[in-house]
Chain A
Amino acid sequence: MKLLAKTSAAYGLITFLMFLISGIVCYSLISRLLNAEINESLEIEKNLIIEFIQLHGSLPETVSWSDKKVVFLAANEPTQFSHDTFLESPLKDEYLPYRYVGFPVFASGQMYQAILQTPLIEKDDLLETIGLSLLIFMVCLLISLLFLNGWFSKRIWRPFYQILSQLRGMDFTSDQPVQVSPTTTDEFQQLSVEITKMTNRLHTQYQHAKKFSENASHELKTPITIIRNKLELLIQSGTFAHDQILLINDAYTASSRILKLTGSLLILSKIENRLYTQTENISIRSLIENFIISLHDVWESRHFQIVFLPGEDIIINVNRYLGEILISNILGNAIKHGHDHTVVEIKLHKHLLWIQNRGDILSLNPDQLFNRFVKASGTSESPGLGLSIVREICIMYGFEISYVHEEGRHTITIIF
C-alpha cells in the first residue's frame, strides 16, 4: 500500500469520526438552545397574559394564528403543566410536534385553565439540516485534503523518490561512488547524507574486496610456483624411494591445483576490475574451430561426435584472451560433463551461440550453475570456477547467457 493511500485512508477515517462527533454535539446543542428559546418565549407570553389579567381583570382574546394558539378553558381545578405532543398540523397534512404550557388564571371571578400551544421544530428537519451541511462540509474538506495530500506528497516526497531511483540504479562495480542529489527538506537531507556515507563506505569496501582478491591471488601465485618447482626438483632428484616420491607427487599435484585455482581467481578479479582493456574483432567461428582441432584427440578417444553448424559467423569485439577462455570453458565444460559416445552440438545463428551435450542430470540447482565454487560432483578436481568466469565475461561485454536442461540434454545459449 502506498504511503499516500495510507495517509489518505487515515485522514478519511478521522474526518468521518470527527464529523460524526461534531454532528452529534451540534445537534444536541442546537436542540437544547431551541428548546430553551421556546420555553423562554412561552414564559414571556405567560407573563404577558398574567399581567394583562391583573391590569384588566378580564381574559385577553384567545389567539389562534396559524398553528400557534392561546386558549382559556373554564376549569374547576386548573393545573400547571408543560408537555410536548404530536398533533395533526392544520397547515400540513402530517403530525408535528407541539409544546403545551398550561397554567391557572383567575379572571372575572372564574378559574381558567390557560393553555399556550406553540409548534416545535421537527427533529428530523433539524437532523437533516445539520447532517446535510456537515456532509457537504466534510466532502469539501476531504476532497481538498486528498488533493493537498497528493500534491504535497508529489512535491515534498520528490527528493525521496530521487534518492530511491538513485539507490535502485546503484552500481558498485563502477569506479564512481554513488551521488545523491541535495534537497532542502531537513529529513531528506539527513537521509541523503547518511545514504551517501553508507554507499561510499560500501563502495570503498567493495573496491577493497575486489583489490584484495586480485592482490591475494597474485601474491599467492609466486610462493605456490616456488613450492611446485621445488617439488618438481625433488621428484627429479632420484634420491627417494618410490613411496616417498608418491608423497612428494601428491603435494606436487595439490600445489598444481592451487596454482590453477589462484589463476582462475586472478582472471575473475581482473575481469571484475575491468583490467582486460585491449579489444579486437574476433570470429567466434574460428575460435570454435581452433578449439575443436586442438582437442581432436580428446574427442576421438572418448568417441564424441562433434556437430558444428556455423550458420553465420559472429564477430565480437572483445579481449582475445577472454574470448578464448569464453569458448574453451563452455566447450570444455560440454566435453567434461558429456557422456562418451554421444553427440555435442554447436550452432551459430545470427547473434546466438548454442551448445548442447548429453550428460548426467544435474544434482544442483540450474540457477547456481554459474556461481563460484559450484561443482556438479563433490569429487571433481576442478574448483568450479570455469562457468563463473564465463558468466563474468558475459556480464562484462553485455552478452546474455542461459542454461536449460531437459532429459539429459544440457544446453547453454549465449546471445551476443
Chain B
Amino acid sequence: MLLVEDEQHVADSIISYLQQEGNICEWAMSFEDADERIAIYQYDCALIDITLPGGSGLDLIQAIKSHHPDTGIIIISAKGSLEDKINGLDLGADDYLSKPFHLAELNSRIKSILRRRKFGGNKKMVVGNLIVSPDEQTVEANGDRMILTRKEYDLLLFFISNQNRMLTKEAIAEHLWGDHADMMDSFDFIYSHIKNLRKKLEDCGCREYVSTVYGVGYKFSIQ
C-alpha cells in the first residue's frame, strides 16, 4: 500500500492504523518521492493527497494508471474541492475521501476497493456465521437471507471492515450520513439503527456480534 501525504503526523496515524490491519504500508511525503516509488513498485492500493509539495496528486494518479492499472486509488483532499474529486475520478481513481476523515472510514474504503480489485467483487465474504455478497448486496446468516435496510447493510459492512475495533458514534454517523451527520446533534439515530441490526443478527443466531462500549461506541467481533 502506498500513502502519499506531506504531513508526517497525519501519515504516521494512517500507517499505524493500516499496519494494525495487517497491511504493509509505504509512505511518500513528496511528489518526487511518490513518483519514483510508483515507477518501481506495484501497490495494491494508493492513497493520494492532491495538494503536494512539488506537484499535483492528479499527475500521480495518471502515472499509477499507466504503470499499474490494477492499483486501487483513493484520493485524499480538502473538503469542498469538488474539482479535485471530479478530475481524480475521471483519471481513474476509485474513491474520494475528504479531509479530515476517521481512520475507520479510510480503512473501510480501502477494504472495499481491495475486495473489488482483487476479487472483482465476486468473492463472498465469510464472517462468522455471516456470508456477505458485496456485488449483490445481500447477507446470509446460517443459510437464511437477512432482510436489511440500505443503512443497516452499510452499517454491517462498515463493522465487518473494522472488525474488533472500537467504532465511535461519530465515525459511524459520518459513514452513514456523510456531511449530513452534522445535521443531527444527537446520536439517537445510530442507536436505533444499531438496535435494529443487532436484533436482526440475533434473530439469525448471530448473538453478541455487536457489543456496546458505553459512552464511546460499538465494536463488532465474532470472537
Interface residues of A (CB under 8 A from B): 221-222, 224-226, 228-230, 232-233, 235-236, 238, 242, 245-246, 249, 252-253, 256, 259-260, 263, 266-267, 270, 276, 278, 291, 294-295, 297-298, 301, 320-321, 328, 332, 335-336, 380-382, 386
Complex Cα gap A288–B151 (Å)? 20
**In the complex, A291 Cα to B179 Cα: how many Å?**
11
Cβ-neighbour of B189 out of A232, A236, A297, A380 (below 8 A): A297
* Known A242-B213, A249-B215; contact A232-B184, beta-carbon cutoff 8 A: no
**C-alpha gap A328/B166 in the complex (Å):** 30
Whether B193 contacts A297 by the Cβ 8 Å rule is yes
For the complex, is B209 an interface residue (Cβ under 8 Å from A)? no
Chain A: which residue is nearest B8 at the CB level? Answer: A226
Q: Are A225 and B216 in touch, CB under 8 angstroms?
A: no
- Nearest Cβ distance between residue B78 and chain A, in whole angstroms? 8
- The answer to whether B17 and A226 have CB atoms under 8 Å apart is no
**B49-65 at interface with A (beta carbon < 8 Å):** none
Question: Cβ of B122 < 8 Å from any Cβ of A?
Answer: no
The 8 Å CB contact of A232, one of B168, B180, B183, B188, is B168
Stretch at the interface among B29-37, B100-108, B138-146: B100-108
In Å, the complex CA distance between A389 and B13 comes to 32
Q: Is the CB–CB distance between A221 and B100 below 8 Å?
A: yes
B17 x A298 contact (CB < 8 A): no
Mask, B164-192, CB within 8 Å of A = 1, is 01101011000001111011110011001
Q: Name the contact of B185 in the complex, choosing from A229, A278, A321, A382 (C-beta under 8 A).
A: A382
By the criterion CB–CB under 8 Å, are B184 and A278 in contact? Answer: no
Give the residues in chain A near B104, CB-CB below 8 Å. 232
Given contact pairs A229-B103, A236-B17, A245-B213, A301 touches B80 in the complex (Cβ within 8 A): no
Which chain A residue has the least Cβ–Cβ distance from B184?
A: A298
Verify B13–A226 contact, CB threshold 8 A.
Answer: yes
Complex contact A245–B99 (CB within 8 A): no
Return the chain B residue nearest A335 by Cβ: B183
Partner of A278, one of B9, B83, B103: B83
Contacts of B179 in A (CB 8 A): 328
Contact in complex: A301, B100 (CB < 8 Å): no
Q: Does B16 contact A (CB under 8 A)?
A: yes
**Residues of B contacting A263 in the complex (Cβ-Cβ under 8 angstroms):** 79, 100
Q: Nearest Cβ in chain B — how far from A292, in angstroms?
A: 11
Question: Which residue from chain B places its CB closest to the CB of A256 in the assembled complex?
Answer: B170
Contact present for B17 and A321 (CB under 8 Å):
no
The answer to whether A246 and B216 have CB atoms under 8 Å apart is yes
Q: Which residue of A lies closest to B14 (CB)?
A: A229
- Specify which chain B residues have a CB less than 8 angstroms from the CB of A278 in the assembled complex: 82-83
Contact of B183 among A235, A266, A336 (CB under 8 A): A336
Does B168 lie within 8 Å of A249, measured CB to CB?
A: yes
Would you call B66 an interface residue if the criterion is a C-beta within 8 Å of the partner chain's C-beta atoms?
no
A267-B80, A298-B184, A298-B189 known; A233-B151 Cβ under 8 A: no
- Judge whether B119 is part of the interface by a CB distance below 8 angstroms: no
Complex Cα distance, B182 from A259, in Å, reads 12
Q: Is the CB of A260 within 8 A of B10?
A: no
Check B216–A233 contact: CB distance below 8 A.
no
Within 8 A of A (CB), among B14-28: 14, 16-17, 20
